[in-house]
């Protein structure tokens, strides 16, 4: 019985942790589209790399983009405000752009 409870807890924890690319896209539209083109056909600034371009460039190294969320730089304010889940979702969305 105790094992079952442990298993259920584990399953729930991993489900809660599964990154959601759709939520990432929504967040990108809200938080990033002011500067970045976050999807093909989206609007943004020509001076800023688009998400599809960033994702293609990163390829298998998408995880490395996480550092942008913990180290805000001048042009990208308020990054520390994102929760870990939001970052997971953004990364999942970026990854979906490379597929
Ligand atoms: C105020 C404008 C602005 C906003 C808002 C913004 N960015 Fe950026 N971002 C930039 C600029 C400018 C660069 C290019 C910086 C550089 O190359 O040094 C950049 C670069 C990046 C890069 C690195 C690109 C690369 O080539 O490695 C990532 C990843 C990124 N942004 C993600 C995001 C995410 C995710 C959001 C939304 C949560 C966001 N940005 C919101 C301006 C912005």
- Show the beta-strand stretches assigned E in 1-99: none
Reference 51, options 66, 39, 43; nearest CA is 39
**Mean local confidence (pLDDT), 74-83:** 66
Reading the block at residue 46, the tokens are 């020509």
d(CA 95, CA 90): 9
Ligand 1 center to 51 CA (angstroms)? 9
Which residue lies with its CA nearest to atom 39 of ligand 1?
32
What values do phi and psi take at 73, rounded to 5? -115, 165
Ligand 1 center to 5 CA (angstroms)? 43
Residue 76 per-residue DSSP state = B
Ligand 1 center to 10 CA (angstroms)? 35
What values do phi and psi take at 76, rounded to 5? -120, 85
CATH topology of domain 20-97: Cytochrome Bc1 Complex; Chain D, domain 2 (1.10.760)
pLDDT digits (tens, 9 = 90+) for 17-56: 679 999 999 999 988 888 889 998 878 777 888 999 999 9
Which residue lies with its CA nearest to atom 14 of ligand 1?
48
């Amino acid at each position: 019985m105790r094992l079952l409870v442990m298993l259920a807890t584990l399953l729930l924890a991993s489900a809660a942790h599964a990154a959601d690319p759709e939520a990432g896209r929504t967040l990108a539209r809200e938080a990033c589209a002011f500067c970045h083109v976050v999807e093909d056909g989206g609007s943004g600034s020509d001076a800023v790399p688009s998400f599809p371009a960033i994702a293609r460039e990163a390829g298998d190294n998408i995880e490395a983009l996480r550092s942008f969320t913990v180290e805000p730089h001048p042009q990208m304010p308020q990054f520390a405000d994102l929760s870990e889940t939001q970052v997971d979702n953004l990364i999942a969305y970026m990854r979906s752009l490379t597929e």
